[in-house]
């Protein structure tokens, strides 16, 4: 077993507002001051900690479900692991090539055709021309956009757009796969295809980092869960317990429970 | 995900035990950009394709614009205004300079905006971010090529129909023009690197850059002959004027294209002894090539400084976009 991801006492601080006009600097209005300091309490420096002393290690081939409420720091953590951002304190280390889906469709150029965008996006994820050539048919088949492949992606429906991005990401020969809210887009057949693909990814020994609010799919996909709470690790361990920890086990409200059932049904499909 | 027929786990297939654990955001700066040439090439091609996407004439626009500009220059400066300045083939004198000045201003303007206009990608994918200003420089270079072709055609046509000699490129002149291009590439990239990340932190910066960029065409000897500055600036200010790398590059490209089209003295000025006669004037600054090479060396140092600055500032770029 080799270590795949090391996150060691990582903190990341953001400011509420990065750019101010000269007027705001010289004559801050009450609202601006409050925006920098929402509690109205003692003056702060207008910053908040998105991540605060987060530490964990992931072994190669593990499949981690990252959970937490909105604003708990999940996306920031993914950006640090994928290398988009750097931690302010602590360190993040990874082994091997990273691919993933924080970026579905990022870098797509609306004026260019689906074909050109596949090559572009694959190159951004670190694939060479030969590699992309060899996998092009698989990528196109998975995206299943038909004749639209040679039209500008600006004309695509949002589902096709997402499919194309997902398709490139899952065909990268990577060692770490990051998936952020994959199931948020796409219709049911496509979701099923995605989950099937992600299961293959997982079985081929790739480390998976999966963010979702759906308890059902995390249960199916992951063998360990990390729950973030206000930028700290609230829970790290067994998936079932993580779901209980988050009260995501569907006791409180009806719509949640229904949603979970549907997720479970979907997960059972695969 | 697995290669065809290879069902071994990734850990074995990629021999991960021998792959080091590294920070995922590692980068070796501008060198990393050239290590990922394939991506750079695609990005440059994307920019070029996107510029004329959906237009009927497409790339032809890259020729139409400079061509009409040349015709305008020919009429305004060659026939109407240029007569009193004692310069032969004024339109070529001007247009040759314009090729490099345009290249420089485009590189710096697009380079300054490059990070901001690609924020969608930068916020989501781990790429060497030096890629964006470098790509801007290469896209601008690509757009300089049609202008260069128009310039060559203009030089040949002037030789055939004009009264001057036929334009024959000489080795020294072509070397000079190449040095001119190199100067603009190096300085353009250095400024692009510095300005792009400053612009993310301080958004007014692109306006400031634009203001100064508008002055650049007037700081080079192309709309007026070089001898005017030599004649009218005090010695110190004359040296300051010549320390401008764009002014140097303009003279170098003029040496390659305009100089060989002249018959006899390329430029004349009133005799300094005041007897009212016209005598040959210096076409270019003295030690033109020495200055060029010194400026290239300075530019390379500036490039290193620019890279250092970029590396310092880019750490906080994703969250500021």
ipTM given for this complex: 0.81
- Best to test chain A binding among B1, B27, B33, B129 (most A CBs inside 10 Å): B1
Token duo for residue A38: 């929402």
Asked if residue B248 lies in contact with residue B295, where contact means CB atoms within 8 angstroms, the answer is: yes
Nearest to B169 by CA among B284, B72, B110, B257: B257
Collect all residues with Cβ–Cβ distance below 8 Å to B265 and sequence separation of at least 6.
B280, B281
Q: How far apart are CA A169 and CA A174, in angstroms?
A: 9
Q: Given A3, A97, A102, which is nearest B21 (Cβ)?
A: A3
Q: At what angle do helices B61-73 and B90-117 cross, to 10 degrees?
A: 140
**A131–chain B Cβ distance below 8 A for any pair:** no
- What is the C-alpha radius of gyration for chain B, rounded to an integer number of angstroms? 24
Strands A224-229, A232-237: parallel, antiparallel or unpaired by DSSP? antiparallel
Contacts of A173 in chain B (CB under 8 A): 1, 3
Residue-wise pLDDT tens digits, A162-177: 888 888 888 888 889 9
pLDDT value at residue B5 = 52
- Give the CATH number of domain A61-96+175-269; options: 3.40.630.30, 3.40.640.10, 2.160.20.10, 3.40.50.300: 3.40.50.300
Which residue of chain B comes nearest to A197, CA vs CA? B1
Asked if residue B212 lies in contact with residue B112, where contact means CB atoms within 8 angstroms, the answer is: no
pLDDT value at residue A154 = 85
Binary contact (B124, A106; C-beta < 8 A): yes
Count of C-beta atoms within a 10 Å radius of residue A174: 23
Collect all residues with Cβ–Cβ distance below 8 Å to B28 and sequence separation of at least 6.
B35, B128
Nearest-neighbour CA in chain A from B60: distance (Å)? 18
Binary contact (A111, B1; C-beta < 8 A): no
pLDDT value at residue B17 = 78
Nearest-neighbour CA in chain B from A60: distance (Å)? 7
**A90–chain B Cβ distance below 8 A for any pair:** no
Residue A90, CA distances (Å) to A8, A229, B110 in order: 6, 19, 35
**B15–chain A Cβ distance below 8 A for any pair:** no
Binary contact (A2, B17; C-beta < 8 A): yes
Binary contact (B16, A98; C-beta < 8 A): no
Burial (Cβ within 10 Å: 0-12, 13-18, ≥19) of residue B55: exposed
DSSP 3-state assignment of B220? coil
Distance spanning both ends of chain B, measured CA to CA: 33
Burial (Cβ within 10 Å: 0-12, 13-18, ≥19) of residue B57: exposed
Which residue of chain B comes nearest to A103, CA vs CA? B124
Q: Given B3, B42, B125, which is nearest A103 (Cβ)?
A: B125
Strands A47-59, A207-211: parallel, antiparallel or unpaired by DSSP? unpaired
Count of C-beta atoms within a 10 Å radius of residue A206: 29
Binary contact (A107, B125; C-beta < 8 A): yes
Token duo for residue B18: 């021998």
- Best to test chain B binding among A83, A92, A161, A209 (most B CBs inside 10 Å): A83
Q: Given B1, B26, B320, which is nearest A18 (Cβ)?
A: B320
Q: What is the dihedral of CA B28, B29, B33, B39, to 10 degrees?
A: 80
Residue-wise pLDDT tens digits, B216-259: 999 999 888 999 898 889 999 999 999 999 999 999 999 999 99
Asked if residue B99 lies in contact with residue B151, where contact means CB atoms within 8 angstroms, the answer is: yes
Count of C-beta atoms within a 10 Å radius of residue A23: 10
Q: Given B19, B21, B126, which is nearest A6 (Cβ)?
A: B21
- Best to test chain A binding among B124, B204, B311 (most A CBs inside 10 Å): B124
Contacts of A119 in chain B (CB under 8 A): 42
Binary contact (A85, B25; C-beta < 8 A): yes
Strands A3-15, A47-59: parallel, antiparallel or unpaired by DSSP? antiparallel
| Ranges under pLDDT 50 in chain A | 40-43, 253-255
The DSSP secondary-structure symbol of B20 reads P
The DSSP secondary-structure symbol of A112 reads S
DSSP 3-state assignment of A107? coil
Which residue of chain B comes nearest to A102, CA vs CA? B124
**A35–chain B Cβ distance below 8 A for any pair:** no
**A145–chain B Cβ distance below 8 A for any pair:** no
Binary contact (A112, B46; C-beta < 8 A): yes
**A170–chain B Cβ distance below 8 A for any pair:** yes
Q: Given A96, A116, A200, which is nearest B19 (Cβ)?
A: A96
Binary contact (A175, B16; C-beta < 8 A): yes
Q: How far apart are CA B170 and CA A185, in angstroms?
A: 62
Asked if residue A68 lies in contact with residue A210, where contact means CB atoms within 8 angstroms, the answer is: no
Q: How far apart are CA B170 and CA B167, in angstroms?
A: 9
Q: What is the dihedral of CA A120, A126, A130, A132, to 10 degrees?
A: -50
Q: What is the dihedral of CA A105, A106, A111, A116, to 10 degrees?
A: -70
The DSSP secondary-structure symbol of A222 reads -
Binary contact (A94, B24; C-beta < 8 A): yes
Binary contact (A2, B26; C-beta < 8 A): no
pLDDT value at residue B185 = 96
- What is the C-alpha radius of gyration for chain A, rounded to an integer number of angstroms? 20
Instruction: Name beta bridge partners: A6.
Output: A57, A93
Binary contact (A111, B50; C-beta < 8 A): yes
pTM: 0.86
Token duo for residue B310: 């970029």
Binary contact (A124, B39; C-beta < 8 A): yes
Q: Which residue do the tokens 């300085």 mark?
A: B187
Q: At what angle do helices B205-213 and B90-117 cross, to 10 degrees?
A: 180
| Ranges under pLDDT 50 in chain B | 1-4
Q: How far apart are CA B216 and CA B101, in angstroms?
A: 7
């Amino acid at each position: 077993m080799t270590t795949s991801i090391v996150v060691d006492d990582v903190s990341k601080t953001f400011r509420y507002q990065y750019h101010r006009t000269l007027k705001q600097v010289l004559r801050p209005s009450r609202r601006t001051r409050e925006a920098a300091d929402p509690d109205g309490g003692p003056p702060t420096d207008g910053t908040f900690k998105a991540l605060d002393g987060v530490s964990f290690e992931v072994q190669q081939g593990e499949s981690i479900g990252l959970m937490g409420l909105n604003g708990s720091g999940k996306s920031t953590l993914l950006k640090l692991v994928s290398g988009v951002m750097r931690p302010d304190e602590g360190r993040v280390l990874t082994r091997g090539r990273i691919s993933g889906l924080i970026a579905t469709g990022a870098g797509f150029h609306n004026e260019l055709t689906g074909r050109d965008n596949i090559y572009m996006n694959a190159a951004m994820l670190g694939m060479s021309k030969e590699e992309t050539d060899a996998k092009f048919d698989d990528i196109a088949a998975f995206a299943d956009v038909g004749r639209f492949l040679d039209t500008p992606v600006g004309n695509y429906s949002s589902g096709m757009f997402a499919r194309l991005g997902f398709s490139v990401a899952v065909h990268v020969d990577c060692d770490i796969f990051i998936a952020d809210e994959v199931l948020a887009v796409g219709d049911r057949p496509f979701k099923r295809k995605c989950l099937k693909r992600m299961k293959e990814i997982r079985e081929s020994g790739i480390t998976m980092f999966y963010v979702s609010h759906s308890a059902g799919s995390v249960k199916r996909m992951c063998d360990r869960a990390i729950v973030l709470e206000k930028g700290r690790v609230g829970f790290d361990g067994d998936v079932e317990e993580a779901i209980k920890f988050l009260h995501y086990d569907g006791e409180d409200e009806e719509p949640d429970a229904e949603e979970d059932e549907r997720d479970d049904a979907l997960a059972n499909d695969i | 995900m697995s290669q065809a027929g290879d069902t071994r786990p990734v850990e074995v297939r990629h021999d991960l035990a021998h792959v080091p654990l590294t920070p995922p955001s590692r980068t070796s700066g501008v060198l990393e950009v050239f290590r990922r040439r394939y991506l750079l090439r695609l990005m440059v091609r994307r920019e070029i394709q996107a510029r004329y996407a959906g237009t009927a004439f497409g790339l032809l626009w890259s020729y139409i614009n400079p061509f009409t500009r040349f015709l305008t220059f020919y009429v305004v400066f060659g026939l109407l205004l240029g007569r009193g300045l004692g310069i032969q083939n004024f339109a070529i004198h001007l247009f040759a300079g314009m090729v490099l000045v345009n290249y420089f201003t485009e590189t710096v303007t697009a380079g300054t905006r490059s990070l901001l206009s690609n924020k969608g990608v930068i916020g989501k994918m781990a790429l060497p971010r030096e890629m964006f200003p470098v790509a801007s420089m290469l896209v601008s270079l690509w757009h300089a090529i049609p202008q260069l072709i128009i310039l060559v055609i203009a030089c040949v046509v002037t030789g055939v129909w004009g009264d001057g000699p036929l334009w024959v490129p000489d080795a020294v002149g072509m070397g000079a023009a190449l040095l001119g291009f190199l100067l603009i590439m190096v300085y353009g990239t250095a400024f692009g690197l510095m300005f792009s990340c400053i612009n993310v932190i301080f958004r007014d910066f692109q306006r400031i850059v634009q203001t100064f960029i508008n002055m650049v065409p007037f700081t080079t000897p192309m709309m007026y002959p070089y001898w005017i500055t030599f004649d009218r600036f005090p010695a110190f200010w004359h040296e300051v004027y010549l320390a401008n790398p764009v002014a140097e590059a303009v003279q170098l490209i003029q040496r390659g294209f305009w100089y060989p089209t002249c018959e006899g003295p390329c430029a004349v000025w009133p005799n300094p002894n005041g007897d009212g006669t016209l005598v040959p004037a210096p076409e270019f600054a003295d030690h033109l090539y020495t200055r060029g090479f010194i400026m290239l060396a300075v530019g390379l140092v500036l490039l290193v400084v620019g890279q250092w600055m970029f590396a310092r500032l880019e750490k906080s770029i994703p969250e500021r976009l």
